Amino acid sequence: MKQHPIELILMRQLAGYLAVPVFLVDAEGTLLFYNEPAEALLGRRFDEAGEMPLEHWATAFHPTDERGRPLSPAELPLVVALRERRPMQRAFWIEGLDGVRRRLEVVALPLLGQGDRFLGGVAAFWESAP
């Protein structure tokens, strides 16, 4: 099992205590964790979904814009935060792994450690009305 930087371990622990849905990825974009509030919106427990590469999670939820057009991974807030190392916010639709379509508001941030060491990214999100 890969050893992760302490900051990512602590972020995962913090996410486990938060009521806001949180999605955590490492510097390569590998999904490391999403918390229990996120499970309800994503349609599957993290224990069942497990870690997955960016190429999988960025398409697994079939993200679409307000008009129903598919979003490319590059258009997702967390991918922008990872690749451009800047925050991003966006609303879009997903289909949870339970088959339910939901509109989400997502705020994503790159995670930087001491000395500007790039660690990955985190997204907080919530379901919003269309």
Q: What pTM does this model have?
A: 0.93
Q: What CATH number is attached to the domain comprising 13?
A: 3.30.450.20
For 30, the domain range is 6-127
What does each of the 130 residues of the chain score in pLDDT, given as a tens digit?
Answer: 578 999 999 999 999 999 999 999 999 999 999 999 999 999 999 999 999 999 999 999 999 999 999 999 999 999 999 999 999 999 999 999 999 999 999 999 999 999 989 999 999 999 998 7
Question: Does residue 55 sit within a domain?
Answer: yes
Does residue 1 lie within any of the structural domains?
Answer: no
**DSSP codes joined into one string, 1-50:** -PPPPHHHHHHHHHHHH-SS-EEEEETT--EEEE-HHHHHHHTS-HHHH-
Could you tell me which of 67, 85, 88 has the C-alpha nearest to residue 76? 88
At 130 the three-state DSSP class reads coil
Structural domains counted in the chain: 1
CA 63 vs. chain centroid, Å, equals: 12
Residue 84 backbone phi and psi in degrees, to 5: -105, -5
